Amino acid sequence: MPLRPIDAIFVHPKQRLYVVYYRGELWQLPRMKIDDKSWQNRRPYTDDSGSLYLSIHQAISDPVLAQKLRTLDLPVAVCGSTLSRFEAWWEAHGFKWLKDKLMVGQSPLAAHQATAYAKAIDSQPASHRDNRTENETPASTPSFVNTDVFAEMLTELTNEVLDQKL
């Protein structure tokens, strides 16, 4: 078992579905959407775990679900890994990676990365925002009701990691 239970989003490319690695257990979402309604309708994933690949997108835009699933902004080198390879990386390097991020004051939470992205778009001049392509409309950017929730999550995570006894 990994040092700290982790939440991560995996993709099954052939079946086109999301599988959430939640505290060491695999849960299949009923559709290709990651929100609280999908999470409420989840079911245990019982198929071959060798077909799962770690999603590049770990940020959850649904603020309710983001409070339940504390996904991390994992290194790019790990994204696309199979489940077994990801578990091996997490067990060997995850705690050190997490602790290093926290020690330098960076948030490892994927929710913070999505919030930073949304803030960067909002801080662009209006003329630059108006030149966005159709896929970059404000409606497609993640929105968060209350960013204090993510600050609380980061505080809990920091306390948990830094107080960890090896």
**pTM of the entire structure?**
0.66
Domain that holds residue 15: 7-162
**What is the predicted pLDDT for the residue at 12?**
93
More confident residue, 27 or 161: 27
Domain annotation covers residue 32:
yes
Assess contact for 6 and 72: CB atoms under 8 A: yes
Question: What's the CA dihedral at 68, 146, 114, 130 to 10 degrees?
Answer: 150
Contacts for 60 with CB less than 8 Å, ≥ 6 apart: 9, 34, 66, 69, 71, 110, 111, 114
Query: How far is the C-alpha of 68 from the C-alpha of 94, rounded, in Å?
Result: 20
pLDDT digits (tens, 9 = 90+) for 117-148: 444 434 444 444 444 444 444 444 444 444 55
Number of domains in the chain: 1
Domain annotation covers residue 1:
no
Query: How far is the C-alpha of 50 from the C-alpha of 32, rounded, in Å?
Result: 19
